[in-house]
Structure formats: structure tokens, C-alpha cells
Structure 1
Amino acid sequence: MAADRRIVYCLLCEKPHENLSSHLKKACMKDNTEEERNAELTKAKISQKEWTRVGRRWEYHEVDSLMNEEDPLRALIDRLKSKGFFIVKDPSESSPAEQRQLLQDVTPWMRSMVAKLKTGVNVATNYTTQFRYFCMGVLSVVYNKSLKSIETFKTAGWVDRQQTSSGVTIQFSDNSVACTLRKEEEEWFELYFTKIRPLALLRQDEYMDDEGCFFLGQNGGPIANTKTDLQRLWKFCEQTTQSSEPIPEDTQTASGSCEQTTQSSEPIPEDTQTASGSCEQTTQSSEPIPEDTQTASGSCEQTTQSSEPIPEDTQTASGSCEQTTQSSEPIPEDTQVAGESCEQKTQSSEPIPEDTQTASGSCEQTTQSSEPIPEDTQVAGESSSSSALNTTALDQFETFVEMFPVTLNDEPPTKKRRMSAGFEGRDVYDKWRGEQYKMRLNYILAYNSISAHIGRHQPTLDKVRLVISKEKWHANLPDLKDILQAWISEQKTSIEKDGKIIKAVSEQKWKGLQIQDFGGDKGKGVVATMPFTKGDVLCDYHGRIIPASEGKKLLSEQQSGEMGYLFFFKTRGGASLCIDAQTFPCECHPLKDTFGRRMNHSKKKFNVKPVHFQLKFPDGCRDTILFLASKDIQCNDEILWDYGVNKTSFRGEGLDLDWLDE
């Protein structure tokens, strides 16, 4: 009887053992660590006691309710399992031992997928899904991790993995026992992390949050049902091992089905292709980030100050958010018609009237027009004759346009036709061409093949030429310089009104980034968990905005050698402000360690740069520093930016800090 009381069922092979510790060491967990075996032993003993305490007792109504289920037998089996019973030879499920064997049988297939992913060969979506299932199966069967542990495994647990002589040790967020993956298993997980997971992130909609989970569904969200996913894996393994022929990549495997489908002949978009073993977005911009999206890069004394003044034409009064948009209407010199001068007589040199200036706290767009100022906006003191001339010119042009409508493709009326209609001067002719020039400029920016670039990526010269070449325009062609200038304004406005960016700033939820502890003197930093293209917004420098004088006071109170998290910059109105990320955590996000304050410095290898924006929140404009990619960034790259400091900064205390010049 004493021996019977020592019998404990193994939860892996589902068999009773008098000495479970010895059994685990010799059989079911012979490749695991002592710590992992002890954890499994404790788990088995708790399960045994729980079954003894409550598993044997059933309420009648509980059994009766199962009879009303659509599949009473399946309902009864599931309820028995939930109470700790073992159902042997259940045809719908494989035993742990059988599952382990299935994984071993399909490992050659897994290695073939590894070879394809490493060489950049395109892999069908259903096979990348099975790749994820396989990694989940390794944690479940080989390392005995619960469904909850697998579902809640975070990217932080992966990027902070610890190298050992036999592989890597990973930690789980549910505080379960860590496990050590073998070298080959680490390669599988790393390929999923760098090649497959980023594609799921790219498919996210604006309302989806990956919650930092390592395993993601095809929609970019956390996996919803690990148990079902693993059942699909076992079905796929059985089909693969039963077939003597390799399963074609276009064979869909979902919910246990194995249907033949036809692969799309459409090429995979360039921004999702992988090459040279990396997960890159190949949509690159050859143009530099425009100068007017200047960096508010930091400078001096353990802080980040703006070293570049904001242009005067974007100044705001009393913290207001004005956007001054310059019209690109003037006709470029290189668009003149042979034999005729093309004077730019449509520009107005009149200053913007004072009564149109933005008041405090407002968010208006002040547009500098190259049109003559209408009569009712003339400044006091102008002669009535000047006003009358302007009115006459406007009426004359309106009459001219009625006779010769401005169109996208028509040629302007000839001199003979203008003279016949009673128009002797060139003013209306030049203005007609200016209106057509503006129309063509907007058409090019709105053209499908270029519009994909607006807001993030500059239209290239070749792309613009391609669009123009398709039109039958012989003169009055939009100049590339004007197109880029118009794009700059569009990009700035697009970012400042982007609801996704505003929401990310408000909630501090930025996709594709992870804080990593590098250890040693370097400490924490930020790495990319998905590719970014030059010009993409990564995150903001988050903290409370205070006057620069208050920031300098905080700076003076820092101890020698202490790292500061103060970002000094100037608004468009010239006001000196400071973002205080020193006060941590911030009041609005007390449970978050924000990315901006954790990014490390590099003077030579930076891949992002800070840019000042005035985001248009529902309650008004807010000065915000956003980090934009200054080059293409790949998965696992550390995010670095130039603090604008050097070894002579920090009041002379940084002479021995060699990393400042790296």
C-alpha cells in the first residue's frame, strides 16, 4: 500500500510511475535540465492531488448537460480531460510521445524551409504558418510549455535571450521555468522572428495591437487559439509523413484539410521580398530627407538640443500652430515657349496682412498667394486706382478663361486668337499657363504610380519622368524641383494629420520596436522587430513639455556623469521648449518605458533623426518630436540617433567617453 501511494502519473506519457523523478530523467525529459525536470515533477504531483480532491466527484446535472451537446462524446472527453483524466488512444489527438515522433519525422521538411528562408526564396503563406506552428510545437512537446506560456511569450523574452554553450535560454512572461533551446532550434525561432513575424506586422490594421507577443497570427495580432493551431500542426505532420511525395507549396493546409489550390502568378510586392538572408523592404528612396523637415537634433551637456533653427516662415505667435504654405504657381524659366518671353508676372511681393496672422493657440494655414491681393484685402493707404486695376485684371482673366478654359492637355491660345478675342497683353496668357502648370503639378502628385510615395517616400526623378512621358505635353512641363517642393508640403501635412501617428503618440503603442538590455556599460537600447523604409516614422521622444529655462534648471541639478533625458528644441514661433523624459515614468503612461528615451547614440552609424512636427490632436496642435528613419532599417538593427554631442561636451567631463565619437 505504501508503494501505491507513491504512484504518480507522468503528464507526458500519461502512465503511472512509482519513481517519477527517475522516469523523467531516463525517458520523457532526458534532454532537459534538472530544473525543468523538477518543475515537471511538481506539476505532476499537484495534478495528482487535484484529481484526487475534485476529479472523482461529479454533479448529476453536469453529466446531464453533456448529453444535450451537439457531439456528446466529444463534450464528455473534453470534460474528463479538464478534470485530470487521461483518454488513451483518442483518435482525434496524438499522445505526447506520438507528437514528439511527428516533430522528428517532419524535421527534414523544416530544414528545407530554413534553407529557403535563408536564401530569400519566396515561401507560400500557408507554409510560413506551418513554420510558426512547428516552433510552437517545439515549446509544447519538447519543452513541455503550457498553452498559456506559448501564447504569452513576448519578443522581450527573445531579444534578451542568454547564450549558453548548448544554445540559448529564454524566459517566459508567465513566470514559468525558462528553457534552453538547442542551436538548431534557435535558428528556427530567429528565422521566424526576422522573416515571418515582420510580414504579419505589416498586415496589421490600425486597430490591431500585437501586445509584444512573439507568435502572431496572419492578421498581425496575438494568436487566439494555440490548441487549435497545434492540432493543425499534427494533421500537417501526419499528411507529410504519410505521403511519399513532398507536398507542393501551393497545397493549403487549414483545419486538417489538404486542398490543392492554384498559386497566384502575381509577383510578391517588392516591399515584402526577402533577399540575402535578411527581411528587407526593398522600396528605397534615393532622395535625402527634405531640408524643411529639419532635425531638431540635440546638442550639448548630456541632453539633446536643437542645433538647427526652425525657418522664420513657419513661426507661430504665442505657441500657435501656423502652417505657411508657399504656392508653387510661378512658371519655371525652363518652360518658356520658344520665341516668347515667359515673365513671372503673377507673383505678389505684398506681405501677408497683419489681420491674417494666427492668434494664440489657433491652428491655421496661412497661404502665401502669388495672385494679386483681392480688393477687399488691400492694406490701408493703397490708392483707389491700384485697386481698380487689380479688379479690372481679375475680371479680364475671368473673361479670358470663359473663352479659353484652362485644361490639363490643351495648348494655350495663340497670339492671333488672343488678339482676335480682344486681349492684347501677355498678362492673361501667362496667368493661364500658370493655372495649367499648377493643374499639371497636382495631377502628377495624384497619379497612382507616384501617390504611393507621397507622405513617406519622395517621388524619384525616374518615376516623375515616366509619368510625364505618358502625357502628350510639349511645353509648360512641371519641374522636378517644384514637384519635390509640393511633395515636401504634402508629406509634412500628411504626417501632422495622420490619425495613426496621433493615436500612437497618445497611447505610446509603436509597432516594430522592442527595448533590449545589452548589459554592461551600454545598458538598455531599442531594436527593430520589423523592417522600416527611409522616411518611416518609428516613434516619438515622449515626455512632458516644459520651458527651456525649467529644463536647464533640471540639467544643473544632475549629478556629474548622470545620463540626462532632456530634449531642447525651438518651435516654429521661436519659443524655446524642452521635453522632459527625465521624470520617469511620465504621468500619462505610468506603466510604460517609452522607446525614445531608450535609444542609444551614434555619431556615425545613426539610422533615425528627430524632426519637429505640430501634430493636430482633437484638442489642438501639440509640438512633437518624431524619429524618422534616415536609411532603410532591418529587423534586429539597433535604433541609433546622433545626440549632437561630442567628447568636449558635458562641461568637459566627457573626454574619456570614446563612444560619443563612434
Structure 2
Amino acid sequence: MKKSTPEERAPEVQKARASNRDWIRSNRTWDYKQLCELLSDRRSRITMVKELLRRGFFIKNQPQESDVTLDPDDNSATTAPATTTMTTTAAAARSATSSTREADYSSILRVAEPDFLRINGNLQNGLALSNTEKTMYRYYCEALLVFCHMQRPQAVENLTDAEWVKRIQHGGRVVTGTSSMQIALTLDEEAWFQMYYKQIRPDSIRHGKFSRGFFLSSSGEAVHSVSQDMNHFHELYKLSTSKSQDVRRAVETAAKNLTADQQKAIRIYLACGTADSKMLQPHKIVDTAVLLDSLSGKSEETSAAATSDVIMGQHTFQKDFSAFVARFPVSLEGQPPCKKQRVDSGYPEDATFYLKWRASQYAKRLEYLMLTFMSKNYFILPSEHFTLRKPTAATVARHIAKEGWKANYPKPEKIQWLWKPAPKRTIETDTFIIRCVSEQVWPGLAIKDFGAEQGHGVVATRPFSKDEIVCDFHGKLITGAEGEALLEGIHNEAMCLFFFKVGQRSLCIDAQTVPY
């Protein structure tokens, strides 16, 4: 590579760094418990620990510093006096208690993981989720940032949709963040967050609200208290609440035996909005994330194995639920099977299938109501159901009452929000559109850098419905023929011409010479 260009060397450098990180995870990390099994003699074990640390190895579950100090007359654990044995035992107990407490901080991730992966599998298979499952999925993603990536709740609250679309891949990780945090997600974690962004978050968006937060509550507002969400998450699984500061403190304690540079990198990774954290380069963020994983004993191989186990169970679950639906068909007017019916038919006592059945019925009823109030075909639905104006909540409520539904149906307000008119609506007096034009803030859009060749571009951060206004376009109105003539004279520069039709007329907006 000596005679290669920087562009040719860059991919090989990235491969070398990735290989080095893999090697560190597998070959430069020891567990003190493993050393205890290999070296029963205390003096030999302590000597080995010091030598490994001196050579730059990582050691998990290290004892207290006082417990790795050799006394002048300390030859082995078997010849130590009684007082020494008691001190060592007490120190080992303290170390075990500390290790257990550190594990407890992230126990919510371990306990909730099977449910989370099951919900993720349902999303991948296109199955409808209950509101509880959507909220639980969001809680787990927030918990990953707080308890796995050790970020402050306030920093998680500040993550926006625009910052998410600007994430970049580097060294087998995905780097994203805000002005107050920079993190390197694993590829699995990035896929989970993207699933939330694409499949769950759009259901929380409300028309007329300007929320740009990545995590949205069911009301459409940005999550204002991740700490409160974490409290609720622990309550769901009847676990004692863990605090983010306890996790961060445990990590800082575990990093005391690392080199000064490594400790500094971890402090910057955990920092909240400091000048140093804003200057971190992607490769530094990735390297520090890998280092944190080695401290916590986490490995991507372990995560992949756990995911594989749950996915194998997913196939059995889906097969059983298919049989469950065949036994208890989902219909608009039906009632979900009670516990006795489920048990008598040979299904588990828990409410898993019951909740899935209700979610499927809810989706059917939502689809039925949308067809009722949006259909333009008089031959499909009775004419009194068709309206050229947005139905009122009272109108939708009356229709629901006629159907005889007592529970498990969409709120009338949701039908109002989802409803779209058949003809084009006038926008001159629409206060929401006027506000967007005057402030030049359009919900659902973000600017992303696509690299030196393509430059900056606009991307959508939420789905748009047909006939929905996306943004405005400034420029001089000309005929389509005039626009075509201008287009022929544009070479090697950005094109700012927008062609459209009004009836049979071809028109064009010329923004080529109009400032933004």
C-alpha cells in the first residue's frame, strides 16, 4: 500500500481497525473469575493480574485495589494467617456485591429482551401491535441508550428525527447523536431504532404539531421525561428502579485500572454537551463504545446468539397464533375469547394471544371506518356514509354506536386525523400552512449531507399521505415551454425548476435565480 493513494488506503485502514477491535474483544480481555480457576495460588494470580494490566490487557470483575496488594510474608492463599483470610473473604464479598449491583443496573434490558425481540419480530412480519406493545418497544430503545450506552436521560430526550437521518456507518457501528451526546450503536441496535422510526413513531405523529423529537409519546409530543419512562418500564417487570447516574458511576469505577487515555475517552463518551464530546471523531466514538462493551462483558456474538434463540421461538409463536385465529376468527363484531375458552382449547393461560387477537380486531375496525368515511364509490358503501367534508367526532361516534361496539375501537378523533378530503382543499386561510410558510419549518422534513459528490438534500422523516402538503416552493411562475428552454441551458449545476400541471396547462416554477 506504500504507493497507493489515500483513497485506496482508506478502505484497508478501516478493515484493519475493525479487525483490531475484534481482536481486542476476543484476545485482550480476561475475566478475574477465570484467572481464579486457572491460578489457585493467590500470589501467582495477583502477579499475573499486574502483568496483564501492564501489557495493556482488560480484566473484568477485578477485586478492590487493596486485595491485589501482596504482603512481604504472603506466599500463598493456603499459608496466609487467619486475619488475612478474613480480610480477603470480606473483600471478595464486597467485590461480588459490587458486581451484582452493576449487573442489576441493566437487568431491565436482560429481563425485557425476550418480549422486545418478540415485538420486533411481529413488526417484521407486518402484524398489528397493541398500544402497550408500542410503548414497551419505545421504553426498551430508551433503556438501551441509558443503561447500555450510559447516556443521561436529558440527552436522550434531545435526540431529534433530523439527527437520526444524519447517522453514519463507521467501523461496523452506526454513529449518531446530538449536541449533548455521541454514541456508536451496533448494527442490531440501529435496526431496532430504525424499526421504531419507520413502524411505530409515525402512529404517534399528530397533524398540526411541530414535534421533532425522535421519541414521541402517544399524544404526539416529544417525550419530556425519559427518567419517568424508565421508572414505568421497571414497574412493568416489577424490578427495583435503576438510576442513570448509578450506571455511569459504576462504569467510571470499573475503568480505574485502564490507561489514562482510555479513561479520558470514556469520560468524554459519557460527557453531556462538553466541548470535548462535540469534537470527537467517528472512529474515536466507535473505539470507546467497543471499550465500554469490554468493561461490561457485552459482546456482539452474545447478543446475536440471544437474538437467534428468540427468533427461533418466534416461528413457533406465529404458528400457534395462526392456529389460535383459526379457532377464534377475528371479526368486526366478535368478542375475544375469555380465559376459560382459551384454556379449554389447549392454549396458555397468559394474555399473549388475547392481546394479539384484540390488536388484529382493532386494525380491522380502523380499516373499516377509514373506508366508510373516505370512499368515493357510491356503489360500495351507502351514500349517507360518504362525505366531502371532514366528519365530526360526533358523526364518527354515532356510526360506532350503530355498529354496537363497546370497546376496542379507534377513537373518533383518530379517524378525524387520518381522514383526507377527495377534492383539493384551499390553503390560503389554513393557519397551519401559513405558519409553516412564514417560519419555514416543515414537520417531517430534514436536511441530510449525502457526501461531497451529491451534497445536501432533503429527506422525509415521516410518511406523507396523498394530497398532503409537504412544503412550499419559491420562484417565478413561467410556462412549461419556458422551463424546458431554461433546462437545456443548465449544465453541471443544481437544477431548481419545478414542473407541474394545472388542468391541461403545463407550468413551471423557476427558482434558479431566487434566493432561499
TM-score by length of 2: 0.44
Q: Which has the higher helix share?
A: 2
Task: Name which one, 1 or 2, has greater alpha-carbon Rg.
Answer: 1
TM-score by length of 1: 0.35
